[in-house]
Each structure stands twice: as C-alpha cells, then as structure tokens.
Amino acid sequence: MSKKKENKPEKGRRYFLIDYENVHMAGLKGLEELHKSDRVIVFYSQNADSLNFDIMMLLTRTKARVDYIKVDTQGRNALDFQLSSYIGFLLGRDPHCRCYIVSHDRGYSNVQIFWYKQGEEVRLIPSIAERAGVSVKRGDVEEALAALEISDEDKTQAADLVWKHLRTGSPHLSHIKVSINNELVAQLGGEKTKVIWGAIRPLIK
C-alpha cells in the first residue's frame, strides 16, 4: 500500500478510541480538556460495562462528542480486533484525522506501526491527558538545519521530511530514526544525509 498523505495538513479531527476494559476511568483523564470537534469512542464489554458516578460527572463536563460501542466478546481479544478495525473505518471516512488508542495494551503497537508506514497519525497513549506526542517542534528542526552548508531548498525538503516522521510518530524510536535516514538518503543522497543527520540527531531522543 502506498502512502496517501505526503501533504497531510497539520491539523485534523481527533478521535480517541478508549479500550475501557483495559484503562477504565484512568484512561478518561483529560476528557474535560477536549474540544467540540473531538470525538471519543468508548469500547466496552460485559467484562467492564458499568460507569460510576464520577465518570458520569466527568462526561457532562466535556465539549467533545462521546459515543459508546459495546463489543460482543465471543472469542479472545474481540475488543482489540474491533477497535483496530474501527480505526481503518475512521481513516477511510475522514482522511485528515488523527487517531489515539487509549490503552496500556502494547499489542496495539502493531496497529500504530502499520498506519505509521502509510503516513497516518495513529498513537497509543495511556490516557486522553497524555496525548501531546513529540515534544520537538517544527521550529526546532528548522533551527537545527539553519547553519548547515546546504541549499535552502535542501533545508526545506529535509525539514519537511524530518517533521513528517516526528509528528506522525512511531512506538519505537529506532523505527523513526531508520525511516528518517532511509528517506533522506533516497531524496538527498548519502553525503547530505550525513550532514543533516548530525544536526538533527540531538532532537530525536
């Protein structure tokens, strides 16, 4: 499958898919900070199908739309499979969206890696409050490249490439480094990549 969003906009609707069976109320921390355009989809099963008073009060304080999907848990990992499938549905319906899987289950890392390779923004986070993603800003990348003795065109191209990978993210830091290096070599050549990599390496940690 080829990457669909080389020029993906910086912003898009945010979807928070809650593995409620895994995170319970702790995963909803930060719900009250969401915006009207955000969407929260709570996946739950008969193993975790009760919402206490504190959760109900929290739900009344959010501006985001909250939907609930009760999963038929016949079979192992039924909730995981259905949540993962729903991400594909969302990305197909809303091509500029960002999806956050709220769970402690590291098995979702495989879903994140798959969509990362397609240029899509899917993140695995332990709670809504911890959605910030990378701490590096686009300006940090541009500043690191500013002093290099390469053309302005090459600097812009390198900044676009590096920022795309940092913003989209991957559950594995080594995966980000390899992806950036490989694409820099393919687009700008080995010699320029060595120079660029030396400047941006301190940012990727």
Residues 39 and 105 in one domain: yes
For residue range 126-183, list pLDDT tens digits in order: 899 876 555 567 888 899 999 899 999 999 999 988 887 776 666 666 777 888 899 9
Both 34 and 124 in one domain: the answer is yes
Are 118 and 147 part of one and the same domain?
no
Parent domain of 143: 138-203
Q: CA-CA distance, 101 to 130, in Å (whole number)?
A: 11
- pLDDT tens for each residue of 39-84: 999 998 876 656 666 677 777 788 999 999 988 766 678 899 999 9
**Is there a single domain that holds both residue 93 and residue 179?**
no
Report yes or no on 177 lying in a domain: yes
Tell me, yes or no, whether 81 lies in a domain. Answer: yes
**Domain count within the chain:** 2
